[in-house]
Amino acid sequence: MKASLTLCLVASSLAVHTAATEPSSGNTILSAFLPHDIPSIPLGCLTLPHELPQPSGLSIPSDLPIPIALPVATHFPSPSGHPEPTGFHRQARRQLFGITENDVTTNTGCQPLTFIFARGTGELGNMGTVVGPPVASALSSLTGGKVTIQGVNYDASIVGDATAGADGGPTMAKYVTQALQQCPNTKVVLGGYSEGAMVVHNAANSLSEGQVAAAVLFGDPFKMFGVGKLSASQVKEFCALGDPVCENGFNILAHVSYGTDANTAAQFLVQAAGISSS
């Protein structure tokens, strides 16, 4: 039996479908490897384009691939929109975070740490699913729930790729300013995945020194550039082996693997911000 590997998207999760043809019958068999007890609806297969359109006014290598973050529609609890309880009860409630988080824009109260995250192209909500919620959960665990979480409300589209994240940069910078105005003693840290990493670059370039304590970037097309006024010790880049976006590799699965780096990223942010772990 001969088999070919195709990357496909289903409604509940990212799945690798193996298309196999049985020589004796000629029948084609599709088998999907999915987490147990998660219903799924096939939505089709995706191919990563080869070139990033050259954005005007920026000196960027023209052979960079378009960073596409495949949306993984795994369910996470949605935020209530009400101020979170403090102490143990807050920690217990905020171990899992949703695809949309708006603690800064709804002013849910001050915490020692504020995490502002920009999702990748095509991801759902304002946090996405691949990296944002796992990092938020890891930060909550490390700080005993004493963290404010805000996703960047921007289009996260192919058009945004072509403009190198210029659409989301001002919005992220605005959230940083708003967070510090509401809570002057909070430490603001940033995160971005794929196109969202470009958003971080854009936001950081417009912010003053000292406004941001640290940043973590995943699958960053601009990893060869600095991040605003942050020093190298304040930035941690995650670029998986074979990632076609940040490494010009050929393994599309590498680009959607960054959820496994959530704990490492969270530990870096907490340490860089000088926040005590619980």
The 3-state secondary structure of the chain, one letter per residue: CEEEEEEEEECCCEEEEEEEECCCCCCEEEEEECCCCCCCCEEEECCCCCCCCCCCCCCCCCCCCCCCCCCCCCCCCCCCCCCCCCHHHHHHHCCCCCCCCECCCCCCCCCCEEEEEECCCCCCCCCCCCCHHHHHHHHHHHHCCCEEEEECCCCCCHHHHHCCCCCCHHHHHHHHHHHHHHCCCCEEEEEEECHHHHHHHHHHHHCCCCCCCEEEEECCCCCCCCCCCCCHHHEEEECCCCCCCCCCCCCHHHHHCHHHHHHHHHHHHHHHHCCCCC
All CATH 3.40.50.1820 domain ranges in the chain, comma separated: 63-273
What are the tens digits of pLDDT across the range 241-256? 999 999 989 999 999 9
Place 218 in a pLDDT band, splitting at 50, 70 and 90. very high
Which of these is catalytic: 103, 220, 243, 261?
Answer: 243
Q: Judge contact between 93 and 108, C-beta under 8 A.
A: no
206 is catalytic: no
CATH class of the domain whose range is 63-273: alpha beta
Residue 167's pLDDT is: 83
Which of these is catalytic: 17, 255, 257, 261?
Answer: 255
Residue 157's pLDDT is: 85
What are the tens digits of pLDDT across the range 11-24? 333 333 333 333 44
Q: State phi, psi for 60 to the nearest 5 degrees.
A: -130, 135
What are the tens digits of pLDDT across the range 89-131? 344 445 568 899 999 999 999 999 999 999 999 999 999 999 9
Which tokens go with 175?
């959230």
Which tokens go with 90?
């807050």
Which of these is catalytic: 194, 220, 257, 261?
Answer: 194
Residue 166's pLDDT is: 82
Mean of per-residue pLDDT scores for the chain: 76
167 is catalytic: no
243 is catalytic: yes
What are the tens digits of pLDDT across the range 136-186? 999 999 999 999 999 999 999 887 666 677 889 999 999 999 999 999 999
Query: In this model, does residue 49 exceed pLDDT 60?
Result: no
d(CA 161, CA 149): 24
* pTM, 2 dp: 0.70
Residue 176's pLDDT is: 99
